C-alpha cells in the first residue's frame, strides 16, 4: 500500500479552500433554447466550461464521455424528464456520484421531495439570481470534489485491501510450505531398527510448530533420540527450532564430536544456542539407545517430558533439575543410564499435551497422562498415543491445542 498517496489525499482535501478558484465542467440539460442559452451564458460568466444538451438521452451520452463535475437539468422536458434523468444517472456506476441540480420553476415541497428521492442533489430556480446560481453551483462543486476524493480513497483502500489479502494468502502458503518441509524431517513412524517400534502424534498449535523431535540411527546398533521445546511463540521460534533440529542431526553431530553421547551433545548445543534477545530458550532431552541390549543413556537440558513405562511396573518420569539451553554457559550436563526390557515403552512428550487446560483452567496434567498410558498398556503403541490425544482433547473440550502437542513412543519389541 502506498502510504504516501493516502496521506497526500488527506492533506489535499481542504473544505475551507477558496472555491471561487474552482473551474468546473458543467453539463446543462434544457430543451427550451432561450432559457438554455441564458443559463449557459450566466454559467460561463462565472468562469466555468459549459456543455449543453437539449434532451436527456443526449445528455447521458455527453455525461459518460465528458464526466462533468456538475449537471444542471430541467425538470420538465419531453421524452425524458429531469427526475427520470436523475434516476438513470444514479443507476450508472460510472456516473452515479455526479452532483445534479434540478431546475424548477416551482418550489413546492412535494416536488422537492420527489426530486430528492429520485436522485437530485439540490434545486435551482429558473428565475434564480446570479448570487443564488453562484452559491448552488459552488456548493455542488465542493461536494462533488469531496465525493470524488472519497471515491478515490475508497478505490485505493479497496485495492490495498486486495493486495493485503493476496500477500496474506501468499504468506500462509509459504508457511504451509515451510511446515511441510520441517515436518518432512520428522522421523517416519514404523520400525526404525529391528526390535523397536516407533509411533508418534504431533499437533502444532500454529502452522509451523516450535516443538520438534527426532529418532535416527547412529550406527547399526545405536539410535539417537531427542525432543526439543522452544519457549517462544510464532514463526521466529519455529525457525530457531528448525535451526536446532538441523544442528542435532546425527551426521552433523558425528562430524562435530564423533558420537551422539547425550551429555556431550547438550554441551555443544548449550554453547551454540544462547538466550534470544527476548529471553527465549530451548529445553532439550537427548538419548542414545543401544538397541540389542536396551541400554539407554540420556541427558536433559531442562526438559521434563520423558516417561518410562515398563511392561510390568508403574511408569516413572525420567527427570532431574537441569538448566535449559542458554541459561548457563558453563553448565555441565549429567548423563543417566537405564536398561529397557522387551515390551517396555518410552515416551517423549512436549508440554502442550499435558498442559491442555479444561474450560475451568485446570491442566490435564502429567498424572492423567500417566493414567492414559497405563490403561492402554496392552494396546498397540499407536493406539495408546492416539488415546492420549483423545483424552486430552476431551479434557480441554476442544480439538486444537494452545501449545504444540507431541507424543513420541518407542517400544522395545519382544
Which spans of this chain sit near another protein (rule: CB under 8 A)? 31-35, 37-38, 41-42, 45, 74, 76, 78, 105, 126-127, 130, 231-233, 275, 278-281, 302, 304, 319, 321-324, 326-328, 331
Quickly count: other Cβ atoms within 10 Å of residue 381's Cβ: 19
Nearer to another protein, 187 or 363 (CB): 363
Q: Which is nearer to another protein, 124 or 340 (CB)?
A: 124
Q: How far is the CB of 302 from another protein (least distance, A)?
A: 5
- Numbers of helices and strands, H then E, in the chain: 12, 16
Instruction: Name the minimum Å distance from CB 283 to another protein.
Output: 8
Look at phi and psi of residue 302 and say left if phi exceeds 0, alpha if psi is from -120 to 50, else beta: left
Taking the least distance from each CB to another protein, the nearer of 349 and 410 is 349
Question: What minimum distance in Å lies between the beta carbon of 335 and another protein?
Answer: 15
Give the C-alpha separation, 244 to 249, whole Å. 9
CB nearer another protein, residue 32 or residue 149: 32
DSSP 247-262: HT-HHHHHHHHSS--H
Supply the DSSP symbol for 301.
Answer: E
Find the shortest distance in angstroms from Cβ 199 to another protein: 27
- Decide whether 35 or 160 has the Cβ nearer to another protein: 35
Alpha-carbon span 358 to 365, nearest angstrom: 10
Question: 141-145 contacts: CB < 8 A, separation 24 or more?
Answer: 141/19, 141/22, 141/24, 141/69, 141/70, 141/99, 142/15, 142/19, 142/22, 143/99, 144/24, 144/69, 144/70, 144/98, 144/99, 145/13, 145/22, 145/69
- Closest to another protein by CB, 305 or 409: 305
To the nearest 10 degrees (0 to 180), the angle between helices 33-45 and 130-184 is 70
Shortest Cβ 69–another protein spacing (Å): 22
In whole angstroms, how close is the CB of 149 to another protein at the nearest point? 32
Amino acid at each position: 500500500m502506498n502510504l504516501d498517496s493516502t496521506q497526500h489525499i488527506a492533506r489535499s482535501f481542504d473544505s475551507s479552500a477558496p472555491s471561487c478558484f474552482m473551474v468546473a465542467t458543467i453539463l446543462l440539460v434544457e430543451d427550451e433554447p432561450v432559457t438554455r442559452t441564458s443559463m449557459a451564458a450566466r454559467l460561463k460568466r462565472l468562469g466555468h466550461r459549459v456543455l449543453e444538451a437539449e434532451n436527456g438521452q443526449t445528455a447521458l451520452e455527453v455525461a459518460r464521455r465528458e464526466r462533468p463535475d456538475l449537471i444542471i437539468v430541467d425538470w420538465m422536458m419531453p421524452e425524458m424528464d429531469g427526475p427520470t434523468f436523475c434516476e438513470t444517472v444514479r443507476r450508472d456506476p460510472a456516473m452515479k456520484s455526479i452532483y445534479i441540480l434540478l431546475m424548477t420553476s416551482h418550489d413546492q415541497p412535494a416536488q422537492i421531495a420527489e426530486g430528492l428521492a429520485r436522485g437530485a442533489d439540490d434545486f435551482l430556480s429558473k428565475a434564480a439570481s446570479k448570487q443564488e446560481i453562484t452559491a448552488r453551483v459552488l456548493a455542488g462543486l465542493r461536494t462533488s470534489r469531496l465525493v470524488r476524493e472519497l471515491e478515490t480513497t475508497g478505490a485505493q483502500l479497496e485495492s490495498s485491501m486486495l493486495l493485503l489479502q493476496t500477500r496474506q494468502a501468499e504468506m500462509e502458503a509459504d508457511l504451509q510450505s515451510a511446515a511441510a518441509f520441517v515436518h518432512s524431517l520428522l522421523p517416519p513412524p514404523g520400525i526404525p531398527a529391528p526390535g523397536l517400534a516407533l509411533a508418534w502424534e504431533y499437533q502444532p498449535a500454529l502452522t509451523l510448530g516450535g516443538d520438534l523431535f527426532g529418532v535416527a540411527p547412529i550406527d547399526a546398533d545405536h539410535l539417537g533420540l531427542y525432543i526439543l521445546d522452544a519457549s517462544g511463540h510464532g514463526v521466529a521460534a519455529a525457525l530457531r527450532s528448525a535451526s536446532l533440529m538441523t544442528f542435532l542431526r546425527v551426521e552433523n553431530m558425528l562430524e562435530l564430536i564423533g558420537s551422539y553421547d547425550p551429555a556431550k551433545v547438550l554441551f555443544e548445543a548449550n554453547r551454540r544456542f544462547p538466550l534470544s534477545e527476548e529471553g527465549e530458550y530451548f529445553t532439550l532431552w537427548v538419548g542414545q539407545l543401544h538397541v540389542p541390549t536396551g541400554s539407554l543413556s540420556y541427558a536433559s537440558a531442562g526438559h521434563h517430558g520423558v516417561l518410562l513405562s515398563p511392561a510390568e511396573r508403574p511408569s516413572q518420569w525420567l527427570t532431574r533439575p537441569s538448566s535449559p539451553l542458554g541459561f548457563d554457559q558453563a553448565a555441565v550436563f549429567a548423563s543417566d543410564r537405564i536398561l529397557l526390557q522387551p515390551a517396555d515403552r518410552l515416551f517423549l512428550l512436549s508440554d502442550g499435551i499435558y498442559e491442555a487446560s479444561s474450560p475451568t483452567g485446570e491442566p490435564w496434567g502429567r498424572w492423567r497422562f500417566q493414567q492414559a498410558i497405563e490403561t492402554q498398556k496392552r494396546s498397540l503403541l499407536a493406539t495408546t498415543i492416539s488415546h492420549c490425544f483423545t483424552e486430552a482433547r476431551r479434557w480441554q473440550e476442544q480439538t486444537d491445542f494452545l501449545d504444540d502437542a507431541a507424543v513420541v513412543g518407542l517400544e522395545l519389541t519382544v
